[in-house]
Structure 1
């Protein structure tokens, strides 16, 4: 929605100008995490590095969660689902490009499997029962979607969604879609490592820091205190 987009951009400008340093109260908050079982079917690979793309609302929080997962080498905020020439924040925020705000996770399968990343994605990173929205954000660019990069990821993700629905893991049906992967486009530099760089930004305090805390609480063996940052490798 345009009003929410304008609100978010205004706060972003205030942060850049140093005008915001404390949490401001809003009438919404973080989604509650749900402790989930691991996938019954997981990937089988001998690779030392794989990539996975997840969309689950504002990429600031999704990126922030995966940056704290052991075995993750990198987590980049960006866009997936649309064309290269519309992969810019202001265009995507109009909701008509086909893109979803997404995060590309590079991981070591010997330390963390694709199935485990799915477990964290469905449990902590977002609410998979909300259609075209997450928290205060509305629109198809905030949809719940997975972009499998190969047939193995497609198989594991499809089976896990069926497993969770069959077990009635959520009070509502899962609306997450498996979409065709046709490229990932990194977001602008100001959106990378946003949670770590702006821990007092109201949107982060209310909507995203609780997700990192829930990751630590629910999956302590998967949590790493020091995040893997994009800009550290630039």
Structure 2
């Protein structure tokens, strides 16, 4: 079943039963290693479950100038929702961030990514969504980003921040924007059952857990 339909049915059912998704920011330390500040805008790409929630959280981070929902890790020919939903294309639902490193560092973006944007201990799933397109993956855009991401994963693992091992992978591959109807989905569809059940709690938790970072 198409995720748009299946997730909406699940969320509506849970809501009708009075069950709500509880979200809070996981208290994790800042990255010890970070990408040095540099002039000009930079790009970061993160995958971790449905891109609607990732987009909604990162759009509210000060210093993030633009967020695009899309597909990373596969080919252009199959970078479309119907194909990716078959879980056979190798893509991950992902977001591309354009950010100002003078205002927010790559390490800080990683902290948001690991603490609230998704659960990095779930393998090939997030919440109600299952399959490799919902995997936890970082697509570094430079050698520095790759080094910082790897160091942070190791740092969090050594600190035993999470009760289970982090399964986030560092991957390479092109990013392809998703269809127009997926862009800004949270803001354009505030009453959508999936948004109400799974993504609004994430945004609220981000604002509560990172008050000085939230717009």
TM-score bucket of the superposed structures, by smaller chain: over 0.9
CA contact (8 A) 1:55 1:102 kept: yes
1:81-230 to 2 correspondence within 5 Å? 81-180=73-172, 182-224=173-215
Q: Deviations over 1:7-58 (max 9, x none)?
A: 24889xxxxxxxx9xx943767355430211100000142320000000100
- Work out whether residues 30 and 206 of structure 1, in 8 Å CA contact, stay in contact via their aligned partners in 2: no
Aligned to 2:67: 75
1:59 to 51, 58, 74: 51
Are the counterparts in 2 of residues 62 and 125 from structure 1 also a CA contact under 8 Å?
Answer: yes
| C-alpha separation in 2, matches of 1:121 and 1:156 | 14
Residue 38 of structure 2 is matched in structure 1 by 46
- CA-based RMSD of the aligned residues comes to 2.0
TM-score by length of 1: 0.85
Structure 1: unaligned runs, 5 residues or longer: 12-19, 225-234
SS at match of 2:212: helix
Q: Is the 8 A contact 1:77 1:101 kept in 2?
A: yes
Question: Could you tell me how far apart the structure 1 residues matched to 2:69 and 2:80 are?
Answer: 12
Match of 1:119, SS state, is: helix
Cα 1:169–1:73 change in 2 (3 A) is: same
* 2:24–2:206 CA contact under 8 A, matched in 1: no
Unaligned runs of 5+ in 2: none
Question: Which structure 1 residue ranges, 4+ long, deviate > 2 Å from structure 2?
Answer: 2-6, 8-11, 23-33
Deviations, residues 143-183 of structure 1 (Å, cap 9, x unaligned): 00000011000000000000000000000010000001x21
Cα gap change, 1:31 to 1:81, in 2 (>3 Å):
farther
2:87 is paired with a residue whose SS is coil
The whole-number CA distance in structure 2 between the counterparts of 1:9 and 1:221 is 33
TM-score between both structures, scaled by the size of structure 2? 0.93
